Amino acid sequence: MHPTPDSRKTLFAMSFGLAALIWLGQAAQAGPGCAPRQIVLDRLTGHFGESRQSAGLAGPHHLMELFAAPATGTWTVTVTTPDGLTCVLAAGDAWEAMPHTAAADGDPA
């Protein structure tokens, strides 16, 4: 039995969320990649020109967001704790928005 596109997305989201929560446990002491939410948002929008592209919950209380600037290709993944601390989980370049399409059977996309 082959996994369906929806089950692959669910598994990926759960795995990513678990990894984020593990990392967050280590970074929650306000490491260098963490700051109050508004400071992080101001930096992403003002310095990098990024805007929120998607968001979801990582566990019951953490907000995970993806910011990107399609014009420049920069992107950032953040997680925010209930107390308003936002940590950068990953960042990079060459961002490309993908159209939402149903994956063909056997297509890993």
Count CB neighbours of 59 within 10 A: 13
Q: Where are the domains of the chain?
A: 5-92
- pLDDT tens digits, 57-93: 998 899 999 999 999 999 999 999 999 999 999 999 9
Please state the rounded mean pLDDT for residues 1-6: 56
- Structure-token pair, residue 51: 């805007």
Note if the pTM is more than 0.85. no
Query: Per residue in 31-43, pLDDT tens?
Result: 568 999 999 999 9
Q: Which helix (H) or strand (E) holds 12?
A: helix 5-27
d(CA 56, CA 77): 11
Instruction: Give the 3-state secondary structure percentages of the chain, helix then strand then coil, rounded to 5.
Output: 30, 30, 40
